[in-house]
Homo-oligomer: A and B are copies of this chain.
Amino acid sequence: MSKLVLLVLCFSVFLINFRTTEARIRHYKWEVKYEFKSPDCYRKLVIAINGKTPGPTILAQQNDTIIVELKNSLLTENVAIHWHGIRQIGTPWFDGTEGVTQCPILPGETFKYQFVVDRPGTYLYHAHYGMQREAGLYGSIRVSVPDGVSEPFAYDYDRSIILNDWYHKSTYEQATGLSSIPFAWVGEPQSLLIQGKGKFDCASVTQPNVCNATNPECSFYTMTVIPGKTYRLRIASLTALSALSFQIEGHNMTVVEADGHYVEPFVVQNLFIYSGETYSVLVKTDQDPSRNYWATTNVVSRNATASAPPGLAILNYYPNHPKRSPPTTPPSGPFWDDVKPRFQQSLAIKSHRDFVHTIPQTPDRVIVLLNTQNEVDGRRRWSVNNVSYNIPHTPYLIALKQNKTHLFNQAPPPEGYDFVNYDIYKRQNNSNATSSDSIYRLKFNSTVDIILQNANTMVVNNSETHPWHLHGHDFWVLGYGEGKFDINNDPKKYNLVNPIMKNTVPLHPYGWTALRFIADNPGVWAFHCHIESHFYMGMGVVFEEGIEGVGKLPSSIMGCGKTKESHNP
Protein backbone atom coordinates (compact mmCIF):
# COMPACT_ATOMS: atom_id res chain seq x y z
CA MET A 1 0.00 0.00 0.00
CA SER A 2 1.39 3.38 -0.95
CA LYS A 3 1.91 6.00 1.69
CA LEU A 4 -0.58 8.23 -0.05
CA VAL A 5 -3.33 5.62 0.13
CA LEU A 6 -2.47 5.09 3.77
CA LEU A 7 -2.72 8.81 4.44
CA VAL A 8 -6.11 8.99 2.70
CA LEU A 9 -7.30 6.01 4.72
CA CYS A 10 -6.14 7.57 7.98
CA PHE A 11 -7.86 10.78 7.11
CA SER A 12 -11.07 8.87 6.35
CA VAL A 13 -10.91 7.16 9.74
CA PHE A 14 -10.40 10.58 11.31
CA LEU A 15 -13.46 11.88 9.48
CA ILE A 16 -15.55 8.92 10.63
CA ASN A 17 -14.43 9.45 14.20
CA PHE A 18 -15.05 13.14 13.93
CA ARG A 19 -18.62 12.42 12.92
CA THR A 20 -19.29 10.51 16.13
CA THR A 21 -20.16 13.73 17.86
CA GLU A 22 -23.42 13.64 15.94
CA ALA A 23 -26.19 11.22 16.81
CA ARG A 24 -25.75 7.94 14.98
CA ILE A 25 -27.77 4.86 14.22
CA ARG A 26 -26.57 1.73 15.98
CA HIS A 27 -27.92 -1.24 14.11
CA TYR A 28 -28.02 -4.71 15.68
CA LYS A 29 -29.27 -8.01 14.28
CA TRP A 30 -30.10 -10.49 16.97
CA GLU A 31 -31.31 -14.05 16.77
CA VAL A 32 -33.02 -15.38 19.88
CA LYS A 33 -32.76 -19.15 20.25
CA TYR A 34 -32.69 -21.98 22.75
CA GLU A 35 -29.21 -23.37 23.27
CA PHE A 36 -27.55 -25.65 25.76
CA LYS A 37 -25.18 -23.68 28.02
CA SER A 38 -23.42 -24.26 31.32
CA PRO A 39 -23.14 -20.81 32.91
CA ASP A 40 -22.50 -22.32 36.35
CA CYS A 41 -21.11 -25.65 35.02
CA TYR A 42 -24.61 -27.18 35.07
CA ARG A 43 -25.85 -27.81 31.53
CA LYS A 44 -29.33 -26.54 30.75
CA LEU A 45 -31.35 -24.89 28.02
CA VAL A 46 -31.02 -21.13 27.97
CA ILE A 47 -32.44 -18.48 25.68
CA ALA A 48 -29.39 -16.98 24.02
CA ILE A 49 -28.96 -13.95 21.77
CA ASN A 50 -26.60 -14.70 18.91
CA GLY A 51 -25.39 -17.68 20.91
CA LYS A 52 -24.66 -15.73 24.09
CA THR A 53 -26.08 -15.17 27.55
CA PRO A 54 -25.77 -12.41 28.69
CA GLY A 55 -26.44 -11.10 25.20
CA PRO A 56 -24.34 -8.54 23.32
CA THR A 57 -23.71 -5.22 25.09
CA ILE A 58 -25.27 -2.23 23.34
CA LEU A 59 -22.73 0.58 23.22
CA ALA A 60 -24.03 3.98 22.20
CA GLN A 61 -23.70 7.70 22.73
CA GLN A 62 -26.39 10.00 24.01
CA ASN A 63 -29.07 10.72 21.35
CA ASP A 64 -28.07 7.78 19.19
CA THR A 65 -30.83 5.73 17.65
CA ILE A 66 -30.74 2.05 18.49
CA ILE A 67 -32.21 -0.38 16.00
CA VAL A 68 -32.46 -4.00 17.07
CA GLU A 69 -33.83 -6.41 14.50
CA LEU A 70 -34.84 -9.29 16.67
CA LYS A 71 -35.42 -12.64 15.00
CA ASN A 72 -37.38 -15.08 17.13
CA SER A 73 -35.94 -18.54 16.46
CA LEU A 74 -37.60 -20.18 19.44
CA LEU A 75 -39.68 -23.04 18.12
CA THR A 76 -43.17 -22.45 19.53
CA GLU A 77 -42.51 -19.64 21.99
CA ASN A 78 -43.00 -15.91 21.60
CA VAL A 79 -40.73 -13.21 22.95
CA ALA A 80 -40.61 -9.49 23.81
CA ILE A 81 -37.64 -7.42 24.99
CA HIS A 82 -37.80 -4.46 27.34
CA TRP A 83 -35.18 -1.71 27.22
CA HIS A 84 -34.88 -1.14 30.92
CA GLY A 85 -34.28 2.49 31.87
CA ILE A 86 -34.87 3.85 28.37
CA ARG A 87 -37.90 6.10 28.59
CA GLN A 88 -39.07 5.55 24.98
CA ILE A 89 -40.15 9.15 24.59
CA GLY A 90 -42.24 9.24 21.43
CA THR A 91 -41.91 5.47 20.95
CA PRO A 92 -44.04 3.94 23.72
CA TRP A 93 -44.79 1.00 21.41
CA PHE A 94 -41.16 -0.12 21.61
CA ASP A 95 -41.03 -0.49 25.39
CA GLY A 96 -41.18 -4.25 24.88
CA THR A 97 -43.69 -5.04 27.61
CA GLU A 98 -45.90 -7.87 26.39
CA GLY A 99 -49.57 -7.19 27.02
CA VAL A 100 -48.93 -3.55 27.88
CA THR A 101 -47.21 -2.02 24.85
CA GLN A 102 -47.05 -4.79 22.27
CA CYS A 103 -48.18 -8.23 21.17
CA PRO A 104 -45.47 -10.82 21.60
CA ILE A 105 -43.11 -11.59 18.71
CA LEU A 106 -44.00 -14.95 17.17
CA PRO A 107 -41.54 -17.68 16.23
CA GLY A 108 -40.06 -17.05 12.81
CA GLU A 109 -40.80 -13.35 12.92
CA THR A 110 -38.33 -10.49 12.93
CA PHE A 111 -39.38 -7.48 15.00
CA LYS A 112 -37.62 -4.14 14.64
CA TYR A 113 -37.18 -2.16 17.84
CA GLN A 114 -36.13 1.44 17.18
CA PHE A 115 -35.64 4.06 19.86
CA VAL A 116 -33.41 6.92 20.96
CA VAL A 117 -31.13 6.68 23.99
CA ASP A 118 -31.61 10.25 25.12
CA ARG A 119 -29.57 10.19 28.32
CA PRO A 120 -26.12 8.88 29.13
CA GLY A 121 -25.89 6.16 31.73
CA THR A 122 -26.08 2.47 32.50
CA TYR A 123 -29.14 0.59 31.35
CA LEU A 124 -30.28 -2.95 30.69
CA TYR A 125 -32.38 -5.01 28.36
CA HIS A 126 -34.18 -8.22 29.10
CA ALA A 127 -37.18 -10.36 28.14
CA HIS A 128 -40.47 -9.01 29.45
CA TYR A 129 -42.75 -11.95 28.74
CA GLY A 130 -43.69 -14.79 31.04
CA MET A 131 -40.58 -15.65 33.03
CA GLN A 132 -38.21 -15.65 30.06
CA ARG A 133 -35.74 -13.23 31.65
CA GLU A 134 -34.69 -16.05 33.95
CA ALA A 135 -33.91 -18.25 30.95
CA GLY A 136 -30.91 -15.98 30.24
CA LEU A 137 -32.35 -13.39 27.86
CA TYR A 138 -30.71 -10.20 29.11
CA GLY A 139 -27.82 -7.78 28.60
CA SER A 140 -26.33 -4.32 29.13
CA ILE A 141 -26.85 -0.96 27.48
CA ARG A 142 -24.08 1.58 28.01
CA VAL A 143 -24.76 5.11 26.82
CA SER A 144 -21.80 7.47 26.92
CA VAL A 145 -21.87 11.26 26.94
CA PRO A 146 -21.38 13.06 23.64
CA ASP A 147 -17.81 13.86 22.65
CA GLY A 148 -16.66 17.00 24.38
CA VAL A 149 -19.11 16.64 27.26
CA SER A 150 -17.46 15.75 30.54
CA GLU A 151 -18.79 13.80 33.46
CA PRO A 152 -18.48 14.85 37.11
CA PHE A 153 -15.81 12.24 37.78
CA ALA A 154 -12.71 10.92 36.04
CA TYR A 155 -11.70 7.38 35.19
CA ASP A 156 -9.34 5.55 32.90
CA TYR A 157 -11.41 2.53 31.90
CA ASP A 158 -15.07 1.62 31.71
CA ARG A 159 -16.36 -1.90 32.40
CA SER A 160 -19.80 -3.53 32.75
CA ILE A 161 -20.86 -6.40 35.00
CA ILE A 162 -24.32 -7.89 35.35
CA LEU A 163 -25.12 -9.86 38.48
CA ASN A 164 -27.77 -12.54 38.34
CA ASP A 165 -29.09 -15.54 40.18
CA TRP A 166 -29.59 -18.78 38.34
CA TYR A 167 -32.04 -21.68 38.52
CA HIS A 168 -31.53 -25.15 37.08
CA LYS A 169 -35.21 -25.75 36.53
CA SER A 170 -36.76 -24.39 33.37
CA THR A 171 -38.98 -21.32 33.52
CA TYR A 172 -41.90 -23.59 32.55
CA GLU A 173 -41.29 -25.84 35.52
CA GLN A 174 -41.04 -22.81 37.79
CA ALA A 175 -44.14 -21.09 36.44
CA THR A 176 -46.20 -24.29 36.51
CA GLY A 177 -45.42 -24.72 40.20
CA LEU A 178 -46.16 -21.07 41.00
CA SER A 179 -49.64 -21.24 39.48
CA SER A 180 -50.49 -24.67 40.88
CA ILE A 181 -52.89 -25.58 43.65
CA PRO A 182 -51.24 -26.32 46.01
CA PHE A 183 -48.58 -23.68 45.42
CA ALA A 184 -45.15 -25.10 44.57
CA TRP A 185 -42.47 -22.52 45.31
CA VAL A 186 -39.53 -22.42 42.92
CA GLY A 187 -37.17 -22.33 45.85
CA GLU A 188 -33.89 -20.48 46.13
CA PRO A 189 -31.59 -20.16 43.10
CA GLN A 190 -28.75 -22.63 42.67
CA SER A 191 -26.02 -20.12 41.80
CA LEU A 192 -25.12 -16.47 41.62
CA LEU A 193 -23.67 -15.39 38.30
CA ILE A 194 -21.21 -12.56 37.74
CA GLN A 195 -21.38 -11.48 34.10
CA GLY A 196 -22.97 -14.81 33.23
CA LYS A 197 -20.52 -17.06 35.06
CA GLY A 198 -20.91 -19.04 38.27
CA LYS A 199 -19.78 -22.25 39.93
CA PHE A 200 -22.27 -24.85 40.98
CA ASP A 201 -20.99 -27.72 43.10
CA CYS A 202 -20.98 -30.51 40.51
CA ALA A 203 -20.24 -33.10 43.19
CA SER A 204 -23.89 -32.86 44.23
CA VAL A 205 -25.14 -33.87 40.76
CA THR A 206 -25.67 -37.58 40.22
CA GLN A 207 -26.81 -37.55 36.58
CA PRO A 208 -24.03 -38.06 34.04
CA ASN A 209 -22.93 -35.36 31.56
CA VAL A 210 -24.92 -32.62 33.24
CA CYS A 211 -22.38 -30.84 35.43
CA ASN A 212 -18.71 -30.45 34.57
CA ALA A 213 -16.63 -28.31 36.91
CA THR A 214 -13.82 -28.00 34.36
CA ASN A 215 -16.03 -26.64 31.58
CA PRO A 216 -14.38 -23.38 30.44
CA GLU A 217 -17.87 -21.85 30.05
CA CYS A 218 -18.01 -21.65 33.83
CA SER A 219 -14.50 -20.50 34.63
CA PHE A 220 -14.44 -17.52 36.99
CA TYR A 221 -15.29 -14.20 35.40
CA THR A 222 -12.02 -12.32 35.32
CA MET A 223 -11.62 -8.57 35.06
CA THR A 224 -8.07 -7.69 34.15
CA VAL A 225 -6.90 -4.30 35.42
CA ILE A 226 -3.74 -2.25 35.21
CA PRO A 227 -2.35 -1.18 38.57
CA GLY A 228 -2.58 2.47 39.49
CA LYS A 229 -5.65 3.28 37.39
CA THR A 230 -9.24 4.26 38.07
CA TYR A 231 -11.95 2.00 36.75
CA ARG A 232 -15.55 2.87 36.25
CA LEU A 233 -17.39 -0.32 36.99
CA ARG A 234 -21.00 -0.40 35.85
CA ILE A 235 -22.73 -2.93 38.06
CA ALA A 236 -26.26 -4.06 37.36
CA SER A 237 -28.51 -6.70 38.87
CA LEU A 238 -31.09 -8.73 36.99
CA THR A 239 -31.71 -11.35 39.61
CA ALA A 240 -34.89 -13.36 39.45
CA LEU A 241 -35.26 -13.25 43.21
CA SER A 242 -32.23 -12.27 45.24
CA ALA A 243 -31.17 -8.95 46.72
CA LEU A 244 -27.39 -8.83 46.58
CA SER A 245 -24.32 -7.31 48.10
CA PHE A 246 -21.25 -6.86 45.89
CA GLN A 247 -17.70 -6.29 47.13
CA ILE A 248 -14.12 -6.34 45.91
CA GLU A 249 -11.57 -7.63 48.34
CA GLY A 250 -9.40 -4.80 49.67
CA HIS A 251 -10.90 -2.12 47.44
CA ASN A 252 -13.31 0.65 48.21
CA MET A 253 -15.98 1.60 45.73
CA THR A 254 -17.12 5.18 45.18
CA VAL A 255 -20.73 5.30 44.01
CA VAL A 256 -21.07 7.90 41.23
CA GLU A 257 -24.11 6.86 39.15
CA ALA A 258 -27.43 5.19 39.83
CA ASP A 259 -29.90 4.20 37.07
CA GLY A 260 -28.43 6.78 34.67
CA HIS A 261 -28.20 9.68 37.16
CA TYR A 262 -25.08 11.13 38.75
CA VAL A 263 -24.81 10.53 42.46
CA GLU A 264 -23.16 12.79 45.01
CA PRO A 265 -20.18 10.46 45.50
CA PHE A 266 -19.97 8.25 48.58
CA VAL A 267 -17.76 5.34 49.45
CA VAL A 268 -18.87 1.80 50.23
CA GLN A 269 -17.22 -1.52 50.93
CA ASN A 270 -20.42 -3.40 50.13
CA LEU A 271 -22.70 -2.27 47.36
CA PHE A 272 -26.27 -3.39 47.95
CA ILE A 273 -28.03 -3.86 44.67
CA TYR A 274 -31.57 -4.96 43.87
CA SER A 275 -32.94 -6.53 40.70
CA GLY A 276 -33.37 -3.90 38.01
CA GLU A 277 -30.90 -1.41 39.51
CA THR A 278 -27.68 -0.20 37.92
CA TYR A 279 -24.77 1.62 39.59
CA SER A 280 -21.45 3.00 38.48
CA VAL A 281 -18.69 2.80 41.05
CA LEU A 282 -15.12 4.02 40.76
CA VAL A 283 -12.46 1.55 41.81
CA LYS A 284 -8.81 2.50 42.18
CA THR A 285 -6.37 -0.32 41.47
CA ASP A 286 -4.14 0.90 44.26
CA GLN A 287 -3.49 -2.37 46.09
CA ASP A 288 -0.50 -4.73 46.09
CA PRO A 289 -0.09 -5.43 42.34
CA SER A 290 1.70 -8.76 42.83
CA ARG A 291 -1.53 -10.70 43.30
CA ASN A 292 -5.17 -10.99 42.24
CA TYR A 293 -8.26 -10.18 44.36
CA TRP A 294 -11.67 -11.68 44.81
CA ALA A 295 -14.82 -9.91 43.79
CA THR A 296 -17.85 -11.52 45.38
CA THR A 297 -21.57 -11.19 45.49
CA ASN A 298 -23.87 -12.71 48.07
CA VAL A 299 -27.54 -12.90 48.91
CA VAL A 300 -29.03 -10.50 51.44
CA SER A 301 -32.59 -10.08 52.72
CA ARG A 302 -33.36 -13.77 52.14
CA ASN A 303 -31.76 -16.44 54.32
CA ALA A 304 -28.34 -16.70 52.72
CA THR A 305 -27.57 -20.02 54.36
CA ALA A 306 -30.50 -21.54 52.44
CA SER A 307 -29.85 -19.66 49.22
CA ALA A 308 -27.14 -19.81 46.59
CA PRO A 309 -23.54 -19.62 47.85
CA PRO A 310 -21.61 -16.41 47.07
CA GLY A 311 -20.69 -15.76 43.45
CA LEU A 312 -16.98 -15.28 42.82
CA ALA A 313 -14.96 -13.38 40.21
CA ILE A 314 -11.31 -12.43 39.97
CA LEU A 315 -9.94 -8.91 39.84
CA ASN A 316 -6.79 -9.68 37.92
CA TYR A 317 -3.92 -7.24 38.40
CA TYR A 318 -1.95 -7.27 35.20
CA PRO A 319 0.51 -8.98 34.58
CA ASN A 320 -0.50 -11.70 37.06
CA HIS A 321 -2.02 -14.73 35.37
CA PRO A 322 -5.76 -14.11 35.03
CA LYS A 323 -6.63 -17.56 36.38
CA ARG A 324 -4.34 -17.32 39.38
CA SER A 325 -6.44 -17.62 42.51
CA PRO A 326 -6.05 -14.85 45.08
CA PRO A 327 -4.08 -16.13 48.09
CA THR A 328 -6.90 -15.19 50.45
CA THR A 329 -10.29 -16.46 51.44
CA PRO A 330 -13.02 -14.62 49.50
CA PRO A 331 -14.47 -11.83 51.63
CA SER A 332 -17.80 -12.63 53.18
CA GLY A 333 -20.50 -10.06 52.65
CA PRO A 334 -22.67 -8.37 55.27
CA PHE A 335 -25.14 -10.31 57.40
CA TRP A 336 -28.10 -11.27 55.24
CA ASP A 337 -30.68 -10.37 57.88
CA ASP A 338 -29.29 -6.98 58.87
CA VAL A 339 -31.67 -4.57 57.19
CA LYS A 340 -30.15 -1.39 58.73
CA PRO A 341 -27.16 -0.95 56.38
CA ARG A 342 -29.47 -1.49 53.43
CA PHE A 343 -31.80 1.28 54.60
CA GLN A 344 -28.76 3.46 55.20
CA GLN A 345 -27.32 2.91 51.75
CA SER A 346 -30.68 3.66 50.15
CA LEU A 347 -30.78 6.92 52.11
CA ALA A 348 -27.20 7.78 51.14
CA ILE A 349 -27.98 7.97 47.43
CA LYS A 350 -28.56 11.66 46.57
CA SER A 351 -28.35 13.51 43.30
CA HIS A 352 -24.96 14.92 42.42
CA ARG A 353 -25.03 18.59 43.43
CA ASP A 354 -24.40 19.79 39.86
CA PHE A 355 -27.06 17.59 38.32
CA VAL A 356 -30.13 18.11 40.47
CA HIS A 357 -33.39 17.89 38.52
CA THR A 358 -35.75 20.38 40.06
CA ILE A 359 -38.58 18.57 41.73
CA PRO A 360 -42.18 19.83 41.88
CA GLN A 361 -42.74 20.66 45.53
CA THR A 362 -46.24 19.16 45.78
CA PRO A 363 -48.04 16.29 44.08
CA ASP A 364 -51.33 16.46 42.23
CA ARG A 365 -52.20 12.94 43.30
CA VAL A 366 -50.95 10.49 45.90
CA ILE A 367 -51.36 6.77 45.38
CA VAL A 368 -50.48 4.45 48.25
CA LEU A 369 -49.68 0.86 47.25
CA LEU A 370 -49.83 -1.74 50.00
CA ASN A 371 -47.72 -4.78 49.07
CA THR A 372 -49.21 -8.06 50.28
CA GLN A 373 -49.22 -11.74 49.67
CA ASN A 374 -52.64 -13.37 49.24
CA GLU A 375 -54.64 -16.30 48.11
CA VAL A 376 -56.90 -15.52 45.18
CA ASP A 377 -59.20 -18.33 44.00
CA GLY A 378 -57.05 -20.76 45.94
CA ARG A 379 -53.81 -19.65 44.29
CA ARG A 380 -50.90 -17.93 46.04
CA ARG A 381 -50.55 -14.41 44.61
CA TRP A 382 -48.94 -11.06 45.32
CA SER A 383 -51.18 -8.04 45.45
CA VAL A 384 -51.21 -4.28 45.62
CA ASN A 385 -54.06 -2.85 47.70
CA ASN A 386 -55.53 -6.35 47.60
CA VAL A 387 -55.65 -6.42 43.79
CA SER A 388 -53.46 -8.97 42.08
CA TYR A 389 -52.48 -7.88 38.61
CA ASN A 390 -53.34 -9.91 35.48
CA ILE A 391 -51.74 -9.10 32.15
CA PRO A 392 -54.39 -8.74 29.42
CA HIS A 393 -53.98 -10.35 26.01
CA THR A 394 -54.79 -7.28 23.99
CA PRO A 395 -52.09 -4.74 24.90
CA TYR A 396 -53.46 -1.63 26.64
CA LEU A 397 -51.60 0.69 24.30
CA ILE A 398 -53.50 -0.73 21.32
CA ALA A 399 -56.83 -1.13 23.12
CA LEU A 400 -56.74 2.47 24.39
CA LYS A 401 -55.53 4.00 21.15
CA GLN A 402 -58.29 2.18 19.25
CA ASN A 403 -60.88 3.05 21.94
CA LYS A 404 -61.52 -0.64 22.67
CA THR A 405 -61.79 0.05 26.36
CA HIS A 406 -64.14 -2.90 26.91
CA LEU A 407 -61.08 -5.15 26.60
CA PHE A 408 -60.01 -4.55 30.18
CA ASN A 409 -61.59 -3.75 33.50
CA GLN A 410 -62.54 -0.07 33.51
CA ALA A 411 -63.05 0.25 37.26
CA PRO A 412 -60.05 2.18 38.60
CA PRO A 413 -57.88 0.20 41.01
CA PRO A 414 -57.79 1.42 44.63
CA GLU A 415 -55.64 4.43 45.61
CA GLY A 416 -54.86 3.13 49.06
CA TYR A 417 -55.78 0.70 51.78
CA ASP A 418 -57.25 0.80 55.26
CA PHE A 419 -54.46 2.98 56.71
CA VAL A 420 -55.97 3.08 60.17
CA ASN A 421 -56.68 -0.55 60.87
CA TYR A 422 -54.31 -2.59 58.72
CA ASP A 423 -51.50 -4.09 60.80
CA ILE A 424 -48.47 -4.39 58.52
CA TYR A 425 -46.62 -6.48 61.10
CA LYS A 426 -49.23 -9.18 61.24
CA ARG A 427 -49.77 -12.13 58.95
CA GLN A 428 -53.08 -11.31 57.26
CA ASN A 429 -55.41 -13.45 55.21
CA ASN A 430 -56.39 -10.57 52.91
CA SER A 431 -59.25 -12.81 51.94
CA ASN A 432 -61.04 -10.10 49.98
CA ALA A 433 -58.22 -9.96 47.42
CA THR A 434 -59.18 -10.10 43.75
CA SER A 435 -57.30 -10.19 40.49
CA SER A 436 -57.77 -7.59 37.81
CA ASP A 437 -56.27 -5.99 34.72
CA SER A 438 -57.53 -2.51 35.63
CA ILE A 439 -55.10 0.41 35.33
CA TYR A 440 -54.43 3.85 36.84
CA ARG A 441 -55.19 6.62 34.38
CA LEU A 442 -53.08 9.70 35.15
CA LYS A 443 -53.75 13.27 34.13
CA PHE A 444 -51.20 14.22 31.50
CA ASN A 445 -48.34 16.31 32.95
CA SER A 446 -49.62 15.85 36.49
CA THR A 447 -47.27 15.17 39.39
CA VAL A 448 -47.89 11.79 41.00
CA ASP A 449 -46.61 10.51 44.33
CA ILE A 450 -46.40 6.79 44.92
CA ILE A 451 -46.03 5.44 48.43
CA LEU A 452 -44.96 1.82 48.43
CA GLN A 453 -45.95 0.25 51.74
CA ASN A 454 -44.50 -3.09 52.75
CA ALA A 455 -46.20 -5.58 55.08
CA ASN A 456 -45.95 -9.06 56.48
CA THR A 457 -46.27 -11.92 53.97
CA MET A 458 -48.40 -15.01 54.54
CA VAL A 459 -45.54 -16.34 56.67
CA VAL A 460 -45.43 -15.12 60.28
CA ASN A 461 -42.60 -12.64 60.99
CA ASN A 462 -41.64 -12.29 57.35
CA SER A 463 -41.52 -9.26 55.08
CA GLU A 464 -39.54 -9.33 51.85
CA THR A 465 -37.57 -6.79 49.84
CA HIS A 466 -39.33 -5.71 46.64
CA PRO A 467 -37.45 -3.72 44.00
CA TRP A 468 -40.06 -1.69 42.11
CA HIS A 469 -39.32 -0.63 38.55
CA LEU A 470 -41.16 2.07 36.60
CA HIS A 471 -41.29 2.01 32.81
CA GLY A 472 -41.22 5.17 30.71
CA HIS A 473 -40.00 7.49 33.48
CA ASP A 474 -37.47 8.24 36.10
CA PHE A 475 -38.88 9.18 39.47
CA TRP A 476 -37.49 11.21 42.33
CA VAL A 477 -36.86 9.16 45.45
CA LEU A 478 -38.50 11.21 48.20
CA GLY A 479 -37.62 8.98 51.09
CA TYR A 480 -37.53 5.61 52.80
CA GLY A 481 -38.90 4.75 56.20
CA GLU A 482 -39.48 1.91 58.58
CA GLY A 483 -42.97 0.78 59.60
CA LYS A 484 -46.24 2.20 58.44
CA PHE A 485 -46.12 5.38 56.37
CA ASP A 486 -47.63 8.34 58.23
CA ILE A 487 -49.39 10.48 55.64
CA ASN A 488 -49.43 13.46 57.98
CA ASN A 489 -45.87 13.49 59.18
CA ASP A 490 -43.63 11.48 56.88
CA PRO A 491 -44.02 13.79 53.85
CA LYS A 492 -42.44 16.53 55.96
CA LYS A 493 -39.23 14.51 55.95
CA TYR A 494 -39.14 14.13 52.15
CA ASN A 495 -35.92 15.11 50.45
CA LEU A 496 -37.07 17.86 48.07
CA VAL A 497 -33.58 19.34 47.79
CA ASN A 498 -31.35 16.83 46.08
CA PRO A 499 -33.35 13.61 45.61
CA ILE A 500 -31.82 11.07 43.25
CA MET A 501 -33.83 10.11 40.19
CA LYS A 502 -34.07 6.41 39.49
CA ASN A 503 -36.20 3.88 37.65
CA THR A 504 -35.89 1.07 40.22
CA VAL A 505 -36.01 1.36 43.96
CA PRO A 506 -36.15 -1.10 46.84
CA LEU A 507 -39.03 -1.38 49.23
CA HIS A 508 -37.37 -2.66 52.39
CA PRO A 509 -38.93 -5.22 54.76
CA TYR A 510 -41.71 -3.65 56.88
CA GLY A 511 -40.78 -0.28 55.39
CA TRP A 512 -42.09 2.32 52.98
CA THR A 513 -40.59 4.07 49.99
CA ALA A 514 -41.94 7.34 48.56
CA LEU A 515 -41.52 8.38 44.90
CA ARG A 516 -42.61 11.30 42.74
CA PHE A 517 -42.83 11.49 38.97
CA ILE A 518 -44.39 13.66 36.30
CA ALA A 519 -46.82 11.90 34.00
CA ASP A 520 -45.41 13.57 30.92
CA ASN A 521 -44.66 10.63 28.62
CA PRO A 522 -47.67 9.69 26.48
CA GLY A 523 -48.16 5.96 26.64
CA VAL A 524 -48.99 3.05 28.91
CA TRP A 525 -46.38 2.06 31.44
CA ALA A 526 -45.89 -0.85 33.78
CA PHE A 527 -44.74 -0.34 37.38
CA HIS A 528 -43.93 -3.60 39.09
CA CYS A 529 -41.81 -5.60 41.45
CA HIS A 530 -38.75 -6.68 39.48
CA ILE A 531 -38.62 -10.11 41.10
CA GLU A 532 -39.60 -12.35 38.21
CA SER A 533 -41.87 -14.65 40.19
CA HIS A 534 -43.50 -11.76 42.08
CA PHE A 535 -44.56 -9.95 38.92
CA TYR A 536 -45.71 -13.26 37.45
CA MET A 537 -47.81 -13.68 40.59
CA GLY A 538 -49.47 -10.30 40.20
CA MET A 539 -47.22 -7.75 41.88
CA GLY A 540 -47.59 -4.80 39.58
CA VAL A 541 -49.75 -1.97 38.34
CA VAL A 542 -50.06 -0.06 35.07
CA PHE A 543 -50.28 3.69 34.43
CA GLU A 544 -51.78 5.38 31.39
CA GLU A 545 -51.05 9.01 30.56
CA GLY A 546 -51.60 11.21 27.52
CA ILE A 547 -52.86 8.36 25.33
CA GLU A 548 -54.32 10.98 22.98
CA GLY A 549 -50.77 12.21 22.35
CA VAL A 550 -49.47 8.82 21.23
CA GLY A 551 -48.59 8.71 17.52
CA LYS A 552 -49.64 6.13 14.95
CA LEU A 553 -48.95 2.64 16.24
CA PRO A 554 -46.73 0.44 14.07
CA SER A 555 -48.51 -2.63 12.70
CA SER A 556 -45.64 -4.79 13.90
CA ILE A 557 -46.90 -4.61 17.49
CA MET A 558 -50.28 -6.09 16.47
CA GLY A 559 -51.40 -9.65 15.92
CA CYS A 560 -52.71 -10.83 19.29
CA GLY A 561 -56.03 -10.78 21.09
CA LYS A 562 -58.54 -8.37 19.60
CA THR A 563 -55.92 -6.53 17.55
CA LYS A 564 -56.54 -8.79 14.58
CA GLU A 565 -60.30 -8.94 14.52
CA SER A 566 -60.95 -5.59 12.93
CA HIS A 567 -58.13 -6.04 10.46
CA ASN A 568 -59.45 -8.89 8.42
CA PRO A 569 -60.10 -7.53 4.93
- One of A169-177, A212-220, A241-249, A356-364 contacting the partner: A169-177
With A555-B564, A559-B559, A568-B558 already in contact, the answer to whether A176 and B393 are too (CB < 8 A) is no
A35–B565 CA distance with the chains assembled, in angstroms = 31
A129–B75 CA distance with the chains assembled, in angstroms = 9
B555 near A565: Cβ-Cβ < 8 Å = yes
A290 an interface residue at 8 Å Cβ cutoff?
no
Q: List chain B residues, Cβ under 8 A from A177.
A: 36
Q: List chain B residues, Cβ under 8 A from A171.
A: 75
A563–B78 CA distance with the chains assembled, in angstroms = 17
A108 an interface residue at 8 Å Cβ cutoff?
yes
Q: List chain B residues, Cβ under 8 A from A319.
A: none
A130 an interface residue at 8 Å Cβ cutoff?
yes
Contact partner of A567 (CB less than 8 A), chosen from B173, B206, B392, B569, is: B569
A119-171: which have CB < 8 Å to B? 129-132, 170-171
One complex includes copies of this chain to the number of: 2
Contact partner of A207 (CB less than 8 A), chosen from B75, B180, B207, is: B207
Q: List chain B residues, Cβ under 8 A from A558.
A: 559, 564, 567-568
A393 near B104: Cβ-Cβ < 8 Å = no
A336 an interface residue at 8 Å Cβ cutoff?
no
B567 near A564: Cβ-Cβ < 8 Å = yes
With A568-B553, A569-B567 already in contact, the answer to whether A106 and B170 are too (CB < 8 A) is no
Binding site secondary structure of chain A: loop
A123–B512 CA distance with the chains assembled, in angstroms = 60
A561 near B35: Cβ-Cβ < 8 Å = no
With A109-B560, A207-B206, A564-B564 already in contact, the answer to whether A130 and B76 are too (CB < 8 A) is yes
A510-569: which have CB < 8 Å to B? 553-556, 558-561, 563-569
Q: List chain B residues, Cβ under 8 A from A555.
A: 564-565, 567-568
CB distance from A76 to the nearest CB of B (A): 4
A27-57: which have CB < 8 Å to B? 34-36, 45
A194-213: which have CB < 8 Å to B? 206-207
A77 an interface residue at 8 Å Cβ cutoff?
yes
Q: List chain B residues, Cβ under 8 A from A481.
A: none
A309 an interface residue at 8 Å Cβ cutoff?
no
Q: List chain B residues, Cβ under 8 A from A132.
A: 76
With A108-B561, A393-B109, A561-B108 already in contact, the answer to whether A75 and B172 are too (CB < 8 A) is yes
A107–B175 CA distance with the chains assembled, in angstroms = 14
CB distance from A262 to the nearest CB of B (A): 38
B393 near A107: Cβ-Cβ < 8 Å = yes
Q: List chain B residues, Cβ under 8 A from A488.
A: none
A402–B35 CA distance with the chains assembled, in angstroms = 36
CB distance from A136 to the nearest CB of B (A): 13
Q: List chain B residues, Cβ under 8 A from A77.
A: 76-78
A381-398: which have CB < 8 Å to B? 391-393
With A566-B569, A567-B564, A568-B555 already in contact, the answer to whether A104 and B130 are too (CB < 8 A) is no
Q: List 30 A-B contacts (CB under 8 A).
A: A34-B176, A35-B180, A36-B176, A45-B172, A45-B173, A45-B176, A75-B130, A75-B172, A78-B106, A103-B106, A103-B559, A104-B106, A106-B106, A106-B559, A107-B130, A108-B391, A108-B392, A108-B393, A109-B561, A206-B207, A207-B207, A554-B568, A558-B567, A559-B563, A559-B564, A564-B567, A566-B567, A566-B569, A567-B567, A567-B569
